[in-house]
Amino acid sequence: MHTKTDLRELSYAEAIREAMDIAMAQDERVILMGEDIGVYGGAFGVTGDLIEKYGMDRVMDTPISELGGAGVAVGAAMTGLRPIFEFQFSDFATLGMEQIVNQAAKIRYMLGGAVSVPVVMRFPSGSGTGAAAQHSQSLEAWTAHVPGLKVVQPATPADAKGLLLAALEDPDPVMIYEHKILYKMKGHVPEGHYTTPIGKAAVMREGKDLTIVATAIMVHKALDAAETLATEGIDAEVIDLRTIRPMDRDTVLASVRKTGRLVCVYEAVKTLGVGAEVSAMVAESDAFDYLDAPIIRLGGAECPIPYNPELEKAVVPQVPDILEAARNLAKGRI
Amino acid sequence: MHTKTDLRELSYAEAIREAMDIAMAQDERVILMGEDIGVYGGAFGVTGDLIEKYGMDRVMDTPISELGGAGVAVGAAMTGLRPIFEFQFSDFATLGMEQIVNQAAKIRYMLGGAVSVPVVMRFPSGSGTGAAAQHSQSLEAWTAHVPGLKVVQPATPADAKGLLLAALEDPDPVMIYEHKILYKMKGHVPEGHYTTPIGKAAVMREGKDLTIVATAIMVHKALDAAETLATEGIDAEVIDLRTIRPMDRDTVLASVRKTGRLVCVYEAVKTLGVGAEVSAMVAESDAFDYLDAPIIRLGGAECPIPYNPELEKAVVPQVPDILEAARNLAKGRI
Amino acid sequence: MGRTFSVRDTVTPNNTPYAIARYSADELKEALKKMYLIRKFEEGAEDSYMRGLIHGTMHLSIGQEASAVGSCMSLSDEDKITSTHRGHGHCVAKGADLSRMFAEFFGKESGYCKGRGGSMHIADPSKGNLGANGIVGGGLPIAVGAALSAKRLGTGAVTVCFFGDGANNEGAFHEALNMAKVWNLPVVFVCENNKYGMSTSTERSTAVKNIADRAVAYAMPGVTVDGNDFSAVAEAVDAAVERARKGEGPSLVENVTYRWRGHSKSDRNRYRTKEEIAEWQSRDPIAAMAKLLTDHKIASEDEIAGIEADATRIIEEAIAFATEGANPKIEEVTRDVYTQEIAS
Amino acid sequence: MGRTFSVRDTVTPNNTPYAIARYSADELKEALKKMYLIRKFEEGAEDSYMRGLIHGTMHLSIGQEASAVGSCMSLSDEDKITSTHRGHGHCVAKGADLSRMFAEFFGKESGYCKGRGGSMHIADPSKGNLGANGIVGGGLPIAVGAALSAKRLGTGAVTVCFFGDGANNEGAFHEALNMAKVWNLPVVFVCENNKYGMSTSTERSTAVKNIADRAVAYAMPGVTVDGNDFSAVAEAVDAAVERARKGEGPSLVENVTYRWRGHSKSDRNRYRTKEEIAEWQSRDPIAAMAKLLTDHKIASEDEIAGIEADATRIIEEAIAFATEGANPKIEEVTRDVYTQEIAS
Ligand SMILES: Cc1ncc(C[n+]2csc(CCOP(=O)(O)OP(=O)(O)O)c2C)c(N)n1
Ligand SMILES: Cc1ncc(C[n+]2csc(CCOP(=O)(O)OP(=O)(O)O)c2C)c(N)n1
Ligand SMILES: [Mg+2]
Ligand SMILES: [Mg+2]
């Protein structure tokens, strides 16, 4: 985290756990489902000891059955419960897409509004753990392509908590992509119940020379880069997109109108990743007229995530990549 | 089809069938797998009577097991067969994403190049049949986001045949999105074996005032619109993208450099559909400097496909939408 | 089709069929009426389709009425069902209003899904019908979820999950039955085995002879019954519902039946013989039910004719209602994508 | 763990264990050596991890060596296997080169996957090993596909598909076994039941007691054996391989075993007791195999010590090879995404 204060700090994982704890204490209908979220505490320790407080009936270890598990969560959500379903790794959600996309996302519409499906799903995503191609993907663009779903990507502990609590209050299915590498990152997290609005981006740093729109872990890399750029006289505005469906058009466009330059940074494969939508959204808006330079995207390489740690780093954007892109973009501006 | 000649015409479905027939006659390793592709001839009649010619061993009805079926095709492709796997509707491929994305797309890379996975998968896609939200999706953007796959979307009978034959010669997994409404559309199809190159777009109509990049059925709507625009003095270039992974950057950029105006038309949900990538690709390229107007996207509404026929039409781009967009774009140009 | 549940309370003296012993005359006549309603709804639907009044496709369950109605006999409106693409029968059996069903079929705003869902998605949550499903096997995990809610919230509700023989080869079947048993949930899996998944016979798609044999793999009771015999269906499903209600967990019931029509409107019936179809038509579940009622003096021939006439009238009214109904407004097409409209 | 296959040719006179009757002394000593290699490979891997030489995670199969080696006894290089995240043992059993395995572990260009795959994806197609798989259940349909190829191309090859008890609850298991039987393919499903899928015991995840009981649902033979008893494993799997080879279709073999280590490096072993671990450690499959060979005078204690020393040396050499190997070049990171490089 970039804002060090003497306020209470929690890790991103702790913040998520606290949100679940608050929700479960308040509302009997909230249950947790997932693989090894009970005594094991979750593959990334996110559920931790919640089973001790709420018991096996509310912190349910599922069999290794992602499709069925997701579907049970959907059915439970239609009939009175508020399940939070954890995919152990977001990669395994490829097994559950049927229930997510054909059922959770569409049931309300197909049924003419007769029911809502208030299910929350959590997807630990991203690379950086040396777990190779089948355990490191960032597939949030898939669900962000699907009407009926809401999709968020918290970048800070405070938002991880606030967005999860907002998701639980939302009557519709909310998909939460959490970055595994952020789980241990600390930051200030307010006590008690609060929500971070779904659908609102956050301006993390104001600047006038160029706009960096980033998601998840890239928000922190962008902020790092912005500090360095500042020393070079380049004043970057950094926006944490936070919600990728529905996207916060207004915040992004306002920034681009101000700076005239845009770079989008995201870890997912570049082609058809979230930055493609940010770019296209700007390019078709009135903000187009304010653009002084091409819209740059920094996304993951067109490549599965490799195992070797140096290769693994090479396939996702790093701070030097952002610096280079920003410097090129700023040329002629300052 | 828009080019009427006295050459041999086949429907899009017949062209696909002919491609499969040619391949099966030439190569014993080619087999067909899918639900009800045998005596039933396929839900859309694409396989037709091939079972009579090649028997049940090569035209294999699978149980209703999309995940397993796709995985069997992957395993067979790794070990000497050349399977063509048909998802009965592309919507059901949501059940097979694990095998497509974690296995087919990544096995070669994860194994350091030790094997290839020459599997071909066919996805009947799109709306217009009154089959509602779970039978009408256009999810090609999902696989186009995944390195290791190649993804094509033929718009004409000739390309449907040529791209399928190219896919069978390709050592890597090729995903073919076929539009259901095109199955009955007729057009000239050359006899015998030929291939349409994967990775190459087709300029369907040359023009100088604006570029329309379209996919699948939208190519035909774009061509219709272009005829009308011509009568209004607007000279539209129409590009059929044909392959969406890898995208034909050169053809699109060359056109935009010439016309300075771009509209992308696709049926999939607008947000994060293929047009987002086309737009972003142009906006970050040197063609940006040639742009005289915002890049317009016409995509599907942010909505599942509804059942009622009027609603169903309303949620995907139609010729009048293209005309309106093109006219707005061309304003001031001509 | 021999095996039955070991656990069953109702004793049927003197070989009286279960249904006769268990249900009142009114209940039985109501059941017969529902069977007629299903038949006539679908005949009407087919006719509307032929006359070009409907687009899309439809999956008719004509010939399977005993399975739908028999399986819902002991369910209240609090109990849930999940249904399939071939779901009109389940919908009627669970108490749906025929007019709103037809209106949905016609894509009208007055339909159950406001014209957004159509034949394949008709639902009536107010009656416990969580909806038909266009995805084969899609309803199986959802049913388990509904049963989980019932158990956790202590509602006492049971969920009946309908699915076809074809669906039994989906991974979702396996995962759902396993979880239902592991968590001991109040759900009854009712497989309507009409011998084909589209064109593919169970012999060519399914490694076991009886689908109920798969219950062993989930350590739950499994039984195969004559799905055209209303009483046999009710007997098996009622026993399973009772087990579920008592907290004894899930069961699998296989109703062996047959669809008289093709799979959908595009079916050329190449995969089965005319003889096979004729043979099954000679075992009409509605005729059998009518005979059951007359044999046991529950209803006279006249009363039965009256029930049928009632059903005919209701369907006529339903078609009239549907025909008159307004189309949805195009500007409202994105309503109900989200519960609270979002700007986009 | 009583039931065995009814179909078996080899007769074992005087209660001689199957393996002793069936395999030559050289074959048996080679098998023991492979078991040592697995153990020492994994101990070396663990050690390298502790010393920070390796990133990522790993899944060790220490304690399960008899299952891996016993299951591959009657396979040739033409025969295929599919493996799991816990796949080092299968890899060694199928004849992999230890140096290239270690090099992969270290992420080197000289590794089996050129450093792209790591522990979870080691494969050696040249030996018929189609690869470990990071997706639980991911290999099951792939194995069926390999068996389909063998049948269609008439290669006579059999595929052995390894998977865990946890994987048996994936839909992929159900779909794969069903298709294998429907098409009568030469595949043997070998479930390594080590009692837990990560932290979740089979009691809490799986509705049946023995996973092999699920074979009934696919009308294929199913047998549960002591997976720490090399001979019992070889006996069951060989019989199944023979059935497959003869065209008699698929089988399911369940090797009951135990992993001594945690699930992966992040496991705190909260879900099982020290006593349970100790009890299983007292049933070391390698010690049992050594005893089998000495009891039956196949090898002396000295010879066994020599085999173990050989294995130790091979592992040391492998680590040296891996340590010296070059890292992949960063500019080549996108090589092998496609067979023919594409411009992008
Ligand atoms: C996941 C999925 N796969 C395939 C289909 C296409 N499809 C619709 S119904 C059907 C046959 C289903 O057979 P069965 O479950 O026996 O039900 P029946 O139609 O016989 O009532 C198929 C293949 C589908 N809708 N969903
Ligand atoms: C589809 C999928 N779900 C979950 C996981 C995470 N995971 C890896 S191994 C494992 C346990 C597997 O248990 P089992 O099949 O019994 O194999 P074992 O680890 O005991 O050898 C889990 C849950 C995964 N890799 N893939
Ligand atoms: Mg059927
Ligand atoms: Mg296990």
Is the minimum distance from the CB of D134 to ligand 2 under 6 angstroms? yes
If you average pLDDT over every residue of chain A, what do you get?
97
pLDDT value at position D5? 39
Assess whether B238 and B107 both reside in one domain. Answer: no
pLDDT value at position D12? 57
C157-169: average pLDDT: 98
Report chain D residues whose CB lies below 8 A from the CB of B111: 112-113, 116-117, 121, 123, 125, 131
pLDDT value at position C129? 98
| C123 neighbors C84 (Cβ within 8 angstroms) | no
| D224 neighbors D215 (Cβ within 8 angstroms) | no
Output the furthest CA–CA distance in chain A (Å, rounded): 62
pLDDT value at position D265? 82
Assess whether A110 and A155 both reside in one domain. Answer: yes
Q: How confident is the model at residue B105 (pLDDT cuts 50, 70, 90)?
A: very high
Instruction: Find the CATH number of the domain harbouring B35.
Output: 3.40.50.970
- The residue whose two tokens read 């050690």 is D47
pLDDT value at position C8? 39
Is the minimum distance from the CB of C135 to ligand 1 under 6 angstroms? yes
From A188, A211, A236, the end of a domain falls on A188
**Would you say residue D343 has pLDDT above 90?**
no
A274 touches chain B (CB under 8 A): yes
The torsion defined by the Cα of D205, D211, D213 and D219, in degrees rounded to 10, comes to: 110
**Residue B113 to residue D121, Cβ atoms within 8 A:** no
Q: Which is nearest to C225 in space by CA: C214, C210, C215, C241? A: C210
Determine, yes or no, domain membership for B247.
yes
Ligand minimally distant from the alpha carbon of residue D199: 2
Active-site residue flag, A66: yes
Ligand minimally distant from the alpha carbon of residue A88: 2
Determine, yes or no, domain membership for B4.
no
Tell me how far apart the alpha carbons of residues C277 and C251 are, in angstroms, rounded to a whole number: 30
Both tokens of B117, joined, read 């996975």
DSSP β-ladder status, C251-256 and D80-82: unpaired
**Residue A147 to residue B303, Cβ atoms within 8 A:** yes
pLDDT value at position D266? 82
**Would you say residue D4 has pLDDT above 80?**
no
pLDDT value at position A332? 63
Give the nearest chain D residue to A56 (CA atoms): D204
Tell me how far apart the alpha carbons of residues A105 and D70 are, in angstroms, rounded to a whole number: 47
**Would you say residue B5 has pLDDT above 80?**
no
Give the nearest partner residue to A301 out of D136, D268, D333, using CB atoms.
D333
**Would you say residue C10 has pLDDT above 50?**
no
Q: How confident is the model at residue A333 (pLDDT cuts 50, 70, 90)?
A: low
Tell me: the pLDDT tens digits for D144-153?
999 999 999 9
**DSSP-derived secondary structure letter, A108:** H
Report chain D residues whose CB lies below 8 A from the CB of C178: 169, 205-207
| D164 neighbors D111 (Cβ within 8 angstroms) | no
CA distance B29 to chain A (A): 28
Q: Which is nearest to A187 in space by CA: A239, A234, A223? A: A223
Is the minimum distance from the CB of C219 to ligand 1 under 6 angstroms? no
Determine, yes or no, domain membership for B273.
yes
Is the minimum distance from the CB of D164 to ligand 2 under 6 angstroms? yes
Is the minimum distance from the CB of B65 to ligand 1 under 6 angstroms? no
Report chain C residues whose CB lies below 8 A from the CB of B93: none
Complete DSSP assignment for C98-157: HHHHHHHHTT-TTSTTTTSS-GGG--BGGGTB----SSTTTHHHHHHHHHHHHHHHT---
- Encoded amino acid at C200, one letter: T
Is the minimum distance from the CB of D85 to ligand 2 under 6 angstroms? yes
Tell me: the pLDDT tens digits for B282-321?
999 999 999 999 999 999 999 999 999 999 999 999 999 9
Residue among B14, B18, B35, B66 flagged as catalytic: B66
Is the minimum distance from the CB of C166 to ligand 1 under 6 angstroms? yes
**Would you say residue C263 has pLDDT above 80?**
yes
B296 in helix, strand or coil?
strand
- Encoded amino acid at A181, one letter: I
Output the furthest CA–CA distance in chain D (Å, rounded): 68
Give the nearest partner residue to B112 out of D114, D143, D343, using CB atoms.
D114
Give, as residue ranges, everything with CB less than 5 Å from ion ligand 3. C 164-166, 194, 197
Q: Which is nearest to C166 in space by CA: D182, A99, A105? A: D182
D2-20: average pLDDT: 61
**Residue D116 to residue B68, Cβ atoms within 8 A:** no
Number of neighbours of residue C310 by Cβ within 10 angstroms: 14
**Would you say residue D317 has pLDDT above 60?**
yes
| B235 neighbors B183 (Cβ within 8 angstroms) | no
Tell me how far apart the alpha carbons of residues D303 and B43 are, in angstroms, rounded to a whole number: 65
pLDDT value at position B331? 86
Give the nearest chain A residue to D326 (CA atoms): A308
Q: Which chains touch A (3 or more CB pairs under 8 A)?
A: B, C, D
Distance of CA D153 to the CA centre of its chain: 26
**Would you say residue D6 has pLDDT above 70?**
no
Going by CA atoms, what residue is nearest to atom 8 of ligand 1?
A: C136
pLDDT value at position D8? 39
Ligand minimally distant from the alpha carbon of residue D85: 2
Q: Which of A187-196, B91-100, D257-266 has the lowest mean pLDDT?
A: D257-266
Tell me how far apart the alpha carbons of residues B318 and B12 are, in angstroms, rounded to a whole number: 21
Determine, yes or no, domain membership for A4.
no
Instruction: Find the CATH number of the domain harbouring A303.
Output: 3.40.50.920
Tell me how far apart the alpha carbons of residues C126 and C265 are, in angstroms, rounded to a whole number: 30
Looking at the DSSP bridge assignments, the partners of residue B214 are B240, B265
**Residue B63 to residue C205, Cβ atoms within 8 A:** yes
Assess whether B118 and B208 both reside in one domain. Answer: no
Tell me how far apart the alpha carbons of residues A282 and A272 are, in angstroms, rounded to a whole number: 15
Give, as residue ranges, everything with CB less than 5 Å from ion ligand 4. D 164-166, 194, 197
CA distance C126 to chain D (A): 32
| D153 neighbors B81 (Cβ within 8 angstroms) | yes
**Residue C219 to residue D205, Cβ atoms within 8 A:** no
pLDDT value at position C203? 97
pLDDT value at position C56? 85
Assess whether A70 and A181 both reside in one domain. Answer: yes
Distances (CA, A) of D340 to B80, B100, C130, D335: 18, 19, 50, 9
Assess whether A13 and A152 both reside in one domain. Answer: yes
pLDDT value at position B333? 52
pLDDT value at position A35? 98
Instruction: Provide the percentage of residues in chain A whose pLDDT is more than 90.
Output: 97
**Would you say residue D288 has pLDDT above 50?**
yes
CA distance B19 to chain D (A): 21
Both tokens of C60, joined, read 């008719």
Tell me how far apart the alpha carbons of residues D248 and D235 are, in angstroms, rounded to a whole number: 17
A74 touches chain C (CB under 8 A): yes
CATH of domain C13-323: 3.40.50.970
A142 sits in which H/E element: helix A140-144
Number of neighbours of residue D320 by Cβ within 10 angstroms: 12
Assess whether A175 and A209 both reside in one domain. Answer: no
A61 touches chain D (CB under 8 A): yes
Tell me: the pLDDT tens digits for A40-94?
999 999 999 999 999 999 999 999 999 999 999 999 999 999 999 999 999 999 9
pLDDT value at position C57? 85
Domain extent, residue B243, equals 202-330
CA distance D270 to chain A (A): 7
pLDDT value at position A239? 99
- The residue whose two tokens read 């869902």 is C117
A121-146: average pLDDT: 98
Complete DSSP assignment for D166-204: GGGGSHHHHHHHHHHHHTT-SEEEEEEE-SEETTEEHHH
Half-sphere exposure of C340 (CA within 13 A, CB side): 8
Tell me how far apart the alpha carbons of residues B290 and B276 are, in angstroms, rounded to a whole number: 19
Is the minimum distance from the CB of C88 to ligand 1 under 6 angstroms? no
**Residue B76 to residue D149, Cβ atoms within 8 A:** yes
Report chain A residues whose CB lies below 8 A from the CB of D329: none
Evaluated on CA atoms B127, B131, B132, B138, the torsion sign reads negative
**Would you say residue D2 has pLDDT above 50?**
no
**Would you say residue D201 has pLDDT above 80?**
yes
Q: Please, what's the b/e burial string for B54-89 (b: 16 or more CB within 10 A of its CB; e: otherwise)?
A: beeebbbbbbbbbbbbbbbbbbbbbbbbbbbbbbbb
Is D9 exposed, middle or buried, given 0-12, 13-18 or 19+ CB atoms closer than 10 A?
exposed
Tell me: the pLDDT tens digits for B178-194?
999 999 999 999 999 99
Is the minimum distance from the CB of C85 to ligand 1 under 6 angstroms? yes
**Would you say residue D156 has pLDDT above 70?**
yes
Q: How confident is the model at residue C2 (pLDDT cuts 50, 70, 90)?
A: very low
Tell me: the pLDDT tens digits for B221-264?
999 999 999 999 999 999 999 999 999 999 999 999 999 999 99
| A195 neighbors A165 (Cβ within 8 angstroms) | yes
Instruction: Count up the domains in chain A and report the number.
Output: 2
From A123, A155, A188, the end of a domain falls on A188
C234-262: average pLDDT: 98
Residue in A61, A65, A88, A180 to alter for ligand 2 test, most ligand atoms within 8 A of Cβ: A88
Q: Which chains touch D (3 or more CB pairs under 8 A)?
A: A, B, C
Q: Which residues contact D278 (CB under 8 A, 6 or more apart)?
A: none
Distances (CA, A) of C149 to A28, A29, C111, C157, C186: 11, 9, 28, 9, 10
Assess whether A160 and A44 both reside in one domain. Answer: yes
State the closest ligand 1 atom to the C-alpha of B43, by its place in the atom list counted from 1. Answer: 6
Active-site residue flag, A135: yes
A224-253: average pLDDT: 98
**Residue B275 to residue A274, Cβ atoms within 8 A:** no
CA distance B232 to chain D (A): 38
* A152: alpha, beta or left? (left if phi > 0; alpha if psi -120 to 50): beta
pLDDT value at position C112? 98
**Would you say residue C11 has pLDDT above 90?**
no
From B132, B160, B188, the end of a domain falls on B188
**Residue B294 to residue A286, Cβ atoms within 8 A:** yes
Which residues of D touch chain C, with CB atoms under 8 Å apart?
Answer: 169-175, 177-178, 181-182, 204-209, 213-214, 216-220
B2-13: average pLDDT: 79
Assess whether A225 and A168 both reside in one domain. Answer: no
Tell me: the pLDDT tens digits for C76-126?
999 999 999 999 999 999 999 999 999 999 999 999 999 999 999 999 999
Tell me how far apart the alpha carbons of residues D191 and A56 are, in angstroms, rounded to a whole number: 27
Assess whether B223 and B166 both reside in one domain. Answer: no
Give the E-state strand segments of D270-341 in sequence order: none
Residue among B18, B35, B135, B312 flagged as catalytic: B135
Q: Which residues contact A221 (CB under 8 A, 6 or more apart)?
A: A214, A265, A317, A318, A319, A322
Assess whether B137 and B175 both reside in one domain. Answer: yes
Q: How confident is the model at residue C13 (pLDDT cuts 50, 70, 90)?
A: low
Q: How confident is the model at residue A5 (pLDDT cuts 50, 70, 90)?
A: low
**DSSP-derived secondary structure letter, B189:** -
Instruction: Provide the percentage of residues in chain D whose pLDDT is more than 90.
Output: 91
D123 sits in which H/E element: none
Both tokens of D246, joined, read 């003869």
Q: Which is nearest to D327 in space by CA: D106, D16, D22? A: D106
- Cis link prior to A246 (omega < 30° from 0)? yes
Is the minimum distance from the CB of B92 to ligand 1 under 6 angstroms? yes
Q: How confident is the model at residue D10 (pLDDT cuts 50, 70, 90)?
A: very low
Give the nearest partner residue to D198 out of A36, A68, A135, using CB atoms.
A36
- Phi, psi for B187 (deg, rounded to 5): -170, 170
Assess whether A171 and A45 both reside in one domain. Answer: yes
Count of all residues that appear for chain B in the document: 334
If you average pLDDT over every residue of chain B, what do you get?
97
Assess whether A286 and A146 both reside in one domain. Answer: no
B24-34: average pLDDT: 98
Tell me: the pLDDT tens digits for D90-108?
999 999 999 999 999 999 9
C154 alpha carbon – ligand 1 mean position (Å): 34
B103 touches chain D (CB under 8 A): yes
Complete DSSP assignment for A279-304: HHHHHTSGGGGG--SPPEEEEE-SSP
Q: Which residues contact C189 (CB under 8 A, 6 or more apart)?
A: C140, C143, C161, C163, C176, C177, C180, C250, C251, C252, C253
| C259 neighbors C228 (Cβ within 8 angstroms) | no
Domain boundaries, chain D: 13-323
Alpha helices in chain C (DSSP H): 18-22, 25-50, 65-71, 88-93, 98-105, 139-153, 171-182, 202-205, 230-245, 274-281, 285-295, 301-324
Give the nearest chain B residue to A296 (CA atoms): B284
B77-89: average pLDDT: 98
If you average pLDDT over every residue of chain D, what do you get?
95
